[in-house]
Structure 1
Amino acid sequence: MNIKRHASVLSLIAAGALALTACGSDSNTPSGSNNSAAPAPTNTAKAECGGKKDLVAEGSSAQKGAIEAFTAAYIKECAGQQLAYTPSGSGAGVKQFNAGIVDIGGSDSALNKDKGEVEQAATRCKGNPAWNLPLVFGPVGIAYKVDGVKDLVLTPEVTAKIFNGGIAKWNDPAIAAVNKGATLPDKAITVIYRGDESGTTDNFQKYLKASAKDAWGKDAGKKFNGGVGQGAQGSAGVADAINAGDGTVGYIEWSYIQDKKLSAAKIDSGAGAVELGAEGAATAIKSAKIKGEGNDLVLDLDALYASKNPGAYPLVLATYEIVCSKGYDADTAKAVKAFLTVAATSGQSALADAGYVPLPNEFQEKLLTAIKAIS
């Protein structure tokens, strides 16, 4: 992938808030989420309906709720058309897209050049580059269940040591030091991580690598590299495993935390503790930049993850729709463009009720430009 830095995506702040609906086999629309500060974008574009009747997509479980909202809008606007989405995880989504099994891949991480994903995608797209188009943004929480502990603060360094086994008890002095006055039990910490390949895992480990520095000491990637804990399948499995135990902790999308009524730690990156939520994520996203070239809208989140800005909640991910810039047959290209056009326009109006935040106008323009260029 050619990398070129562009302007800071300050326009994302116009969204006012960010939220992701986590996914599994059940409906996970969070109750009580407040997205009223983020109205749907006002730009419109007419979808040219037609082409392949039944599109197939697979990947990120974090965007399942958004894809359901987009599909409902697509069916309404393009009668007779359909899209089937399998929330199998980002790793599976990339593999299925690159193998030519699905028309659209969903991933919480952009295609990885070092792992051959960019080259494989170009081969699948008949010698043309694939584009990463982010349609969903949102924070990831550090969820926990510890009897008697309802208000927990973690620093990046303490979080890293919990997830690599350097801290093994809840009453460890390092945790106590950032939770002065709290009663912490002499109880073993049980780390719950995504056992499948996951973009959420990749983003979480990138966050630890950027923010905790030497305290993490592990690589990023879609597989969990912490070396401790118990794996669970998908976001639903992580949520259930945390909820079923005592002394458990794991990383999971915000809406799963809301849906399962889990406790989430505040993050103190050096400028005070910030709770998981829309306002803190919106503040953090100021540091995000687009590094992809042209219509490949890959975000550089490293500066965001390392942010020490007051009020910023830095553990944020973006979910990409991976598509061929060229190389589809004519019917598939027409349907993919129609679906993505609806998703970026009329489909946005349903996202607030589904626990997401609609795109800001400025970023919507970039997406519509890229979608129009697909052929």
Structure 2
Amino acid sequence: MKIQRLGLVASVALVGSLALSACGSDNNTGSGASASGSSSSSGAASSDCPQGGGTLNAEGSSAQKNAIEEAISSFQDACSGTTVNYNPTGSGAGIKQFIAGQVDFAGSDSALKTKPKDGKIEADEAAKYCGSPAWNIPMVTGPIAIAFNVKGVDKLVLTPSVAAQIFNGKITSWNDKAIAAVNPGVTLPNEPVKVFFRSDESGTTENFTKYLNAAAPKDWTAEPGKTWTGKGEGKPKSDGVANAVKSTEGGITYAEWSYAKDNKLGIAQIDNGGGAVELTGESVGKAVAAAKQDGQGNDLRLKLDYATKEAGAYPILLVTYEIVCSKGKDPKKTELTKAFLKHFADKQTQQSLEEIGYAPLPDEVQSKVEAAISALS
């Protein structure tokens, strides 16, 4: 199905050799549908389509929902007889379902963990299920917005310290002196700060708390993770927190850029120490230049520099990965997975995502992604 477009966004000029991530709207139903078309203006040629069609089931990140639905729609148009279902239950749920063998691949806003948690290591558990290493393939890139709804305030600047104190409950009023100090000349109302957070396990939560911990370690001491450890009121998925802020005077949350734009929320400028930075495609691109590949070979996990002080660089970023078995259990499923991911990574498909609030993979990353997809067996 064709999804409703969120409107044209600023062209994204990504610099450097690595990519970021962004997001879409939520529901609990799969998004795939049988296609009747045989050609598409974006992505897969008919020669790339798997013989005999087939069905894929995937689950995970709600951040990438709009992006993956766009790719699913054009893939199904190009490849008659294929169906791809995607259930945006959140990154944590997607990984659990993948490890349990319930889905063909997972979407996650953070790579599989390589350190123990609750006595288990995600990467090892995934490899055990697969019978081969599981690979993290970056596919959807974009920033996380700190989105707000404050009467009379159109422009808001936040430092890492102030943001951390808002989200850990130390700052409880919008006219707090700490907020006022970084917003001279702005009339801040004497009303409560109402924080909303993701109640489900979320890669967006993990990336946002990685930012707070890296950029404001004295104010945010909790270990980053998919489960929220700050204050506020929980709402399910990205759509839930964005809608809550939209309907709540004094509300604030963290959400992917597309959700903030879609709900017409205020978006804070971030001052990491190099001056206040507005969230734009160009400012996101400057921050990407500091990212490094943190995985080996075709495991393309990335390490982002959340504490960067580079002038003009927007530092709150995420990458959505498609998590797959490097050696599939079912040849037909593997063939279909490769065809769909190849289409998703295609330049035309990636460029189409700009129109709905995402950033395309830069050429250097796209070439690595395509090589990793080709190496799936």
TM tier relative to shorter chain: 0.7 to 0.9
Alpha carbons 2:53, 2:80 under 8 Å: kept: no
Contact 1:16–1:282 under 8 Å retained in 2: no
Q: How does 1:257-268 map to 2 (within 5 A)?
A: 257-268=260-271
CA distance in 2, matches of 1:292, 1:15: 14
2:252 aligns with 249
C-alpha separation in 2, matches of 1:296 and 1:103: 17
The partner residue of 2:243 within 240, 244, 260 is 240
Task: Assess, with a 3 A threshold, how the Cα gap between structure 1 residues 216 and 148 changes in structure 2: closer, same or farther.
Answer: same
SS at 2:95 equivalent: helix
Q: Which runs of 5+ in 1 are unaligned?
A: 1-10, 27-39
Partner SS, residue 100 of structure 1: coil
Match of 1:355 among 354, 357, 365: 357
SS at match of 2:338: helix
CA distance in 2 between counterparts of 1:216 and 1:18 reads 23
Q: Please, which runs of 5 or more residues in structure 2 have no aligned partner?
A: 1-12, 29-40
Distance 2:43 2:329 in 1: 30
RMSD after superposition: 2.4
Q: 1:348, CA displacement in angstroms? A: 2.4
CA distance in 2 between counterparts of 1:326 and 1:19 reads 26
State the Cα distance separating 1:73 from its structure 2 match: 2.3
Contact residue 90 and residue 197 of structure 1 kept, 8 A: yes
For residues 10-66 of structure 1, the C-alpha deviation after alignment (integer angstroms, 9 at most, x for no partner) is x9517999773422139xxxxxxxxxxxxx999999635236611001110111111
Q: Distance in 2 between matches of 1:55 and 1:102?
A: 8
- The share of aligned pairs that are identical, in percent, is 50
Q: Could you tell me which residue of structure 2 aligns to residue 331 of structure 1?
A: 332
- Cross-structure match for 1:107: 108
Q: Which residue of 1 aligns with 2:6?
A: none
- The C-alpha deviation readout for 1:235-254, integer Å capped at 9, x for no partner, is 11001110111111110111
Map of 1:177-192 to 2, 5 A cutoff? 177-192=181-196
Contact 2:16 2:288 in 1 (8 A): no
Looking at structure 1, the residues matched to 104 and 123 of structure 2 have their Cα atoms a distance apart, in angstroms, of: 16
TM-score when normalising by structure 2: 0.87
| Structure-1 residue corresponding to 2:272 | 269
1:265-303 CA-partner distances (Å, limit 9, x unpaired): 1101111111122111111111011010000000011xx
- The counterpart of 2:229, out of the listed 211, 225, 229, is 225
Question: How far is 1:324 from its partner?
Answer: 0.3
Q: 2:284 aligns with which of 278, 281, 284?
A: 281
Runs of 4+ aligned structure 1 residues displaced above 3 Å come to 14-19, 40-46
Q: Distance in 1 between matches of 2:47 and 2:326?
A: 20
Question: Which of 161, 166, 169 is 2:170 aligned to?
Answer: 166
Structure with the bigger RCO (C-alpha within 8 Å, sep 6+) is 1
Q: What is the one-letter code of the residue matched to 2:113?
A: N
Alignment length (residue pairs): 348
* Residues 1:142 and 1:349: Cα distance change in structure 2 (over 3 Å): closer
**Maintained 8 Å contact 1:104/1:323:** yes
Q: Is the 8 A contact 1:18 1:278 kept in 2?
A: no
